[in-house]
Structure 1
Amino acid sequence: MGGLVAVRDFYNKVVGSFIKNMMPRTLFGRSILIVVLPILLLQILVTYIFYERHWDDVARRLAQGVAGDIAAIISLRDRFPGDAAEADILSIGRGQMRLAVSIDMGGKLPEGSEKQQSYGFLESHLVNALKESLPARPFHISTNKKLESVIILIQLPDGVLQVIVRDKRLFSTTTYIFVMWMVAISLVLLGVALLFLRNQMRPIRQLATAAEQFGKGQFVDDFKPSGAQEIRSASRAFHVMKHRILRQITQRTEMLAGVSHDLRTPLTRMKLQLAMMPENDESKASLEGDVADMEKMVEGYLAFARGQEAEAVEDTDIPELFQDVVMNARRQGVAVSLEAPESFRAEVRPNGFKRCITNLINNATRYANEIWITVKQSNSEIIILIDDDGPGIPADRRKDVFRPFYRLDPSRNLETGGSGLGMTIARDVIHGHGGQISLGESPAGGLRIEIRLPL
């Protein structure tokens, strides 16, 4: 029982995999297959039935008619001997029966006529009909080179009867007409189906393109829903979702920017009060450190809010952008190397993307001595690898570093841990471009940051 189950599972897996690989990948291709496959199967079935029944019956009856006419000529010649009667009989065969009839007096059939010969479809029906109508008469059948007629030689006691039959007497042209009409109608129906399917696929492709652009953070204009009712509903739902997401992003950004801006006023007053305090006051130094820390945190909040602002997408030279970031980092004393192609372009928000890479390099600088950046391009995406030789991040804490205000350093010292928004800003920028960012282990022993951006 277990063996049968294993065989069944293997069969289902192999057959299922074969069908899956043979199926078209696109909805348009699968829709065409749904339309074409039944029509093709119907044509094959109808043609087979027509060939086996109608065409076979017609060919057999036509052959029986020709064999009956030949048998009638031979019977009349046997019943009414004489040259005059023979001439009248042959005249009737040529005129009314439409047979080219002649007699070779004293003639014999070609050698080997008695042997079994291989015949085609029409000749085989004619052979069977002649055997039924002339059971005791040897005969020989051949066709001319142009296949326009069939030559029948029948051995008589005093000679050979030659009958030339035109193909129209043995073959029905309705077969070809039927097949041609069936194929022509099928092609017309297929063309109409393709036209309607293409019109239905257009709004689906339009919706897919809009969703892909919006997922990459690009601006998408509202378009008029079209197509079937279900496609119109999906398009309207997409528009509602798009506006809701944009409204939520705008509200969050404005709220965070407003709060961060309002905090600057009390910080300014606190700095004025500290400036008026005596220099020898012991608490002044600690208060100045707290105020500086709060000011850096507010700047971090404002940077996060600026990262959420809408920036126009531009056609950007990616290697050149990375060259600028690396040069700025090197001017600050950071040991960073870059490996990238000479030049390729992609649609990104240049300022936000540059801020994202800068934040990642600054984070690595706090813990590592050297940084390596690798940029690769494939047909569908851009792959960016940022490796360092620092201590890295434990695997169970890599997801946490993307949370806002989360710091690996348990202390609140901004010199060692920052405000906890650098990785959050970087992730939001990458997600805003429709990409993905993940953390792993670097070959140098530190942290690897892998970014994948769709082209």
Structure 2
Amino acid sequence: MGGLGFLKNAFSHINFDFLKKLMPRTLFGRSILIVVLPIILLQVLVTYIFYERHWDNVARRLAQGVAGDVAAVISLMDRFPGETAETDILNSARNQMRLAVSIDPGATLPEGSEFVTKYGFLEGHLARALQESLPARPFSISTNKKLESVVLLVQLPDSVMQVIVRDKRLFSSTTYIFVMWMVGISLALLGIALVFLRNQMRPIRQLSDAAEKFGKGQYVEDFKPSGAQEIRLASRAFHVMKNRILRQITQRTEMLAGVSHDLRTPLTRMKLQLAMMPEQDDKQSLEGDVADMEKMVEGYLAFARGQEAEAVENTDIPDLFQDIVVNARRQGTVVSLDTPQELWASVRPNSLKRCITNLINNAARYASEVWITVHAVDLEVTVTIDDDGPGIPEASRADVFKPFHRLDPSRNTETGGSGLGMTIARDVIHGHGGQITLGEAPAGGLRIEIRFPR
């Protein structure tokens, strides 16, 4: 238990936020990481074992073989002195042992030529093997890069023997071949894995794009579920959900069409009856009530209809806002517009126009001047509507988006509408995949900030 507690405390102090920042954000990136990491770890482990064990053993045995051959040549020369025997021994070493041996009579090695640790990997193995085979003879090892060979000098009693050993006798080329094959096969398998991963990610992106479009109220064509079984199940569930929502919207629209007809007919009859009545105070009061009822019915129907089935179009945003401002000025609203020269976005122009017009009318009802600013940041359009009215208290800003909610507790339409204007505006902006927030304007009134993607 003590050991488990120690491990728990140790892991509790690890900052995993740094690891989270290094992790890829996309599923494709994380899948690649899951595939690549084991391959890299496997290669590192196999390479370590191979180089530390196998290659080390092979290099040591090759060095021992060369050292044994050199020792055998020296032993034969000591046993059979004479120029004729020396020539035969050197020829045998060249032909049978593949050693280029030569004798320098009267020469001596400089001091300090014995084995030192500065030798490389192969030279170190050869030096240790020579120390074992020729324990009493000084020697020196140097590498001739130009000839791709190792030059060995061994001190004899009255001369120095030079032995030139080709790298082939000390070096195994199968080592690099093995590493190259391992890396090559790993890269090939990684490429195949990436192809399969990309094919698996495509249905997920397709489902994500369809869900995003449908969430914005755009038309989404049915697509064939593909990919893994779980992705196919998610795609089928999305299709079922989409058809159910579309069916409910259709039923609501048809019901509202009937309600519109049923309500407008008695209202029209009442207006005709009032038109035939003689002029009196009660008649004016009833006409006002009928007009209020008609406005409320239109507001309820506009809220329930939502954005209907308007198609998304690539729209000139500055031109759209110019039309909105011109219409607002015709109604007597003092409004100024600040917009870029060119800005295009994929929107439902009529729905967005109704939304902005509704917000300007609400602002003009309480303020004397309205300012509109339009600008684009990256792939997002930002619209700011400021006024110099009384504004909305911060505690009540979330309530104004509730259906039929009015800040004025009375139901007098002279001081406001039916309480659906902000709700409809929010639904329109949300249908474009954007957000609408309320704040305080620099002039002290209300600031409405709208953001939606281009």
TM-score (norm 2): 0.94
Q: Is the 8 A contact 1:139 1:155 kept in 2?
A: yes
- Deviation at residue 138 of structure 1 after TM alignment: 1.1
Q: Is the 8 A contact 2:115 2:140 kept in 1?
A: no
- Deviation at residue 91 of structure 1 after TM alignment: 1.9
Task: Note the 1:14-413 alignment, pairs <5 A.
Answer: 16-110=16-110, 112-114=112-114, 116=116, 118-146=118-146, 148-279=148-279, 281-413=280-412
Question: More deviation in 440-449 or 350-359?
Answer: 440-449
What secondary structure does 1:137 align onto? coil
Distance in 2, Cα, partners of 1:257 & 1:416: 29
Distance in 2, Cα, partners of 1:208 & 1:188: 30
Change (3 A) 1:444 1:10: farther
Q: Is the 8 A contact 2:115 2:139 kept in 1?
A: no
What secondary structure does 1:369 align onto? coil
Distance in 1, Cα, partners of 2:407 & 2:122: 91
Distance in 1, Cα, partners of 2:278 & 2:93: 141
- 2:417 aligned partner: 418
Report the AA paired with residue 195 of structure 1. V
Match of 2:14 among 9, 12, 15: 12
- Deviation at residue 397 of structure 1 after TM alignment: 2.3
What secondary structure does 1:12 align onto? coil
Could you list the per-position Cα deviations for residues 110-158 of structure 1 after superposition, in whole angstroms to 9, with x for gaps in the alignment?
4652584721100011111111111111111112132611111111112
Question: More deviation in 208-217 or 316-325?
Answer: 208-217
Q: Is the 8 A contact 2:382 2:451 kept in 1?
A: yes
Distance in 1, Cα, partners of 2:153 & 2:191: 51
Could you list the per-position Cα deviations for residues 187-211 of structure 1 after superposition, in whole angstroms to 9, with x for gaps in the alignment?
1110110111011011111111111
Question: More deviation in 367-376 or 142-151?
Answer: 142-151
Distance in 2, Cα, partners of 1:127 & 1:115: 6
TM-score (norm 1): 0.94
What secondary structure does 1:308 align onto? coil
Report the AA paired with residue 451 of structure 1. I
What secondary structure does 1:451 align onto? strand
- 1:447 aligned partner: 446
Could you list the per-position Cα deviations for residues 343-368 of structure 1 after superposition, in whole angstroms to 9, with x for gaps in the alignment?
11111000011000000111111111
Question: More deviation in 139-148 or 159-168?
Answer: 139-148
- In the alignment, structure 2 segments of 5+ residues that lack a partner are 1-5
Change (3 A) 1:180 1:141: same
Question: More deviation in 427-436 or 122-131?
Answer: 427-436
Could you list the per-position Cα deviations for residues 373-408 of structure 1 after superposition, in whole angstroms to 9, with x for gaps in the alignment?
111211232111111111112223222222222222
Distance in 1, Cα, partners of 2:145 & 2:30: 48
Distance in 2, Cα, partners of 1:124 & 1:213: 69
Report the AA paired with residue 440 of structure 2. E
Change (3 A) 1:69 1:8: closer
Distance in 1, Cα, partners of 2:13 & 2:343: 47
Count of matched residue positions in the alignment of Structure 1 and Structure 2: 448
- 2:3 aligned partner: none
Report the AA paired with residue 253 of structure 1. T
Change (3 A) 1:284 1:165: same
Report the AA paired with residue 60 of structure 1. R
Question: More deviation in 219-228 or 436-445?
Answer: 436-445
- Deviation at residue 276 of structure 1 after TM alignment: 2.3
- In the alignment, structure 1 segments of 5+ residues that lack a partner are none
Could you list the per-position Cα deviations for residues 250-273 of structure 1 after superposition, in whole angstroms to 9, with x for gaps in the alignment?
222332232123211111211222
Report the AA paired with residue 203 of structure 2. P
Change (3 A) 1:349 1:102: same
Q: Is the 8 A contact 2:217 2:431 kept in 1?
A: yes
